[in-house]
Amino acid sequence: MFEDADSCLGSTQADWGFAFHGEDAEVALSTAGSEVARVKTPLKVTHASDCSATAELQMDTTVAGALSVSGTLTSSSGTDIGAAIIELQQQMAAIKAAGVVEAFSTIDISSVVTANGKYAGAAAVGTSVIFAPHDEHNVGVLDTTTNSFTTIDTTAAGVDYAYAYWGAAAVGTRVFFAPCFEDNVGVYDTATSTFSTIDISSVVTADGKYAGAVAVGTVVIFAPHNVENVGVLDTTTSSFTTIDTAAAAVTGSGKYWGAAAVGTSVFFAPHSQFNVGVLDTTTNSFTAIDITGAGMAGSYYKYSGAVAVGTSVFFVPSEVDNVGVLDTTTNSFTTIGTTASGVTAWPLYIGAVAVGTKIFFAPHNEDNVGVLDTTTNSFTTICDTTASGVNNDYKYRGTVAVGTKIFFAPCDEDNVGVLDTQWLA
């Protein structure tokens, strides 16, 4: 196939010609009898004196579909590539089973930031992880290809409150931070490494406004914490509006903490509320799903995060002994117990992320990573974090995945926690 045959051979097709040169497996291209180029044939066939043949790919080749090899695929040095891959897989399986490689590790950031309550929430853009500033006056940026950690100042944009933001969501190359005490939405542009704000003071000004953010298309939804509304940011126009929750009898402080989207609906994790908040983004209507029937009537600070797997939403246990589960097709709420795994250090976890069908919970007071297998609804714990020197009471607050690795947003820890799920048995 020629991208532009006229440029190569001229516009007069009658003058075009080609000739195959078997001695060197090349094709000569000509126009009006004059050779203009020689190109190798994709497949070179060499015949021995007895006419037997061997085939050799002599050009870089892209296989658009599946490549099936009926014989042995060997490298130029004679290595059986198929056998080498099988051997490597077996070695990896043995390493995982033996626990030779520790799946949990840390990236030290103490030379850059050391405050307590550093960040609250994280979002990934490509191979970079962006941490939402909470008590730090900067945006944390982790390059996951080099494990280098840098910061972007926020004070130049007038952002210097403690409890500034709580939650992050990415849309394109920009990350939007949920306003907690700040009267603006923080914006970090990864393409330019610049921080700016979108003023919302004419719309809402309370402290502890929102706790959690999730993107639905180009709109970012903020989970109501101390305000009686859902925050809505249209990222194409930078316009900020709210949707009332009081009409659904959802009022008071500490309402929800975290949000997850399933299709065009957003589900808010109940913190002090005894319901799951639901926003239909197609109608901008807010409703609530009662959860007291699931034995939650006596619980106060219930969950601190939400993650969707398929059509179910799972809620991160904070000061309850279970993972909350909402089937969004039936609006039925159930729980999966955690006490059998010995987790008791409230607040247990803050934030979670799904890798495949498993959910990983970010340790806050717990000295482990919580794991929920959504195919079996079984909850376990892995990775003693104290072995890596991670033993603060308020370790991490939020998490995000890049490939097979999970990154935990540092709260009081002077490191970014890292869980490489490929090393889990």
Residue ranges with strand state E in 52-203? 53-57, 104-108, 119-125, 128-133, 138-143, 148-153, 165-171, 174-179, 184-189, 194-199
| 57 lies in the same domain as 150 | no
Same domain, 53 and 194: no
Residue whose entry in the numeric block shows the structure tokens 């004059």? 34
Q: Would strands 229-234 and 378-382 be described as parallel, antiparallel, or unpaired? A: unpaired
154, 138 in Cβ contact below 8 A? yes
In the chain, what's the furthest Cα-to-Cα distance?
91
Note whether residue 85 is domain-resident: no
Separation of alpha carbons 62 and 318, rounded Å: 50
Q: What does the block give as tokens for 276?
A: 């799951």
Q: Which amino acid is at 338?
A: T
Q: Does residue 145 fall inside a structural domain?
A: yes
CATH number of the domain at 325, please. Answer: 2.130.10.10
Same domain, 219 and 349: yes
- What's the rounded Cα separation, in Å, for the pair 51 and 245? 83
Whether residue 114 is found in the same domain as residue 35: no
Asked if residue 317 has a cis previous peptide bond (ω within 30° of 0), the answer is no
Q: Is residue 83 part of a domain?
A: no
If you search the block for the tokens 């308020």, which residue do you land on? Answer: 394
Please name every residue paired with 286 in a beta bridge, in sequence order, or none if there are none: 279
144 and 19 in a common domain = no
Round to whole Å and give the CA distance between 335 and 303. 12
Whether 91 maps to a domain, the answer reads no
DSSP 74: B
Q: Say how far apart CA 219 and CA 170 lie, in whole Å.
A: 10
In angstroms, the Cα distances linking 234 to 118, 208, 216, 281 are 27, 21, 10, 12
The b-or-e profile of 195-205 (16+ CB within 10 A means b, else e) is: bbbeebeeebe
Whether 41 and 110 map to the same domain: the answer is no
295 occurs within a structural domain: yes
Q: Kindly state whether residues 16 and 132 are assigned to the same domain.
A: no
Q: How many domains does the chain have?
A: 2
Would you say residue 70 lies in a domain?
A: no
The closest of 424, 415, 416, 305 to 355, measured between CA atoms, is: 424
Residues 379 and 231 in one domain: yes
Domain identity same for 118 and 55: no
Residue among 420, 362, 402 nearest 141 (CA): 402
Phi, psi (deg, nearest 5) at residue 155: -65, -30
Please, what is the Cα angle at 180 between 307 and 122, to 5 degrees? Answer: 40
| Residue the block writes with tokens 């609250």 | 120
Do the domain assignments include residue 271? yes
pLDDT tens track, the chain, 425 positions: 767 777 877 888 888 777 877 777 787 778 888 888 887 877 677 777 777 777 776 777 777 778 777 778 777 788 887 787 777 667 666 665 665 558 999 999 999 999 999 999 999 999 999 999 999 999 999 999 999 999 999 999 999 989 999 999 999 999 999 999 999 999 999 999 999 999 999 999 999 999 999 999 999 999 999 999 999 999 999 999 999 999 999 999 999 999 999 999 999 999 999 999 999 999 999 999 999 988 887 778 999 999 999 999 999 999 999 999 999 999 999 999 999 999 998 999 999 999 999 999 999 999 999 999 999 999 999 999 999 999 999 999 999 999 999 999 999 999 999 999 999 97
233 and 136, same domain (yes or no): yes
Is residue 51 domain-shared with residue 177, that is, in the same domain?
no
Provide the whole-model pTM. 0.81
Structural domain that includes position 418: 104-423
Residues 323 and 386 reside in one and the same domain: yes
Asked if residue 89 belongs to a domain, the reply is: no
132 contacts 178 by C-beta, under 8 angstroms: yes
CA–CA dist 352, 361 (Å, integer): 4
The residue from 30, 46, 61 where one domain ends is 61
Q: Which residue has the tokens 């194409």?
A: 236
Cβ(170)–Cβ(138) below 8 Å? no
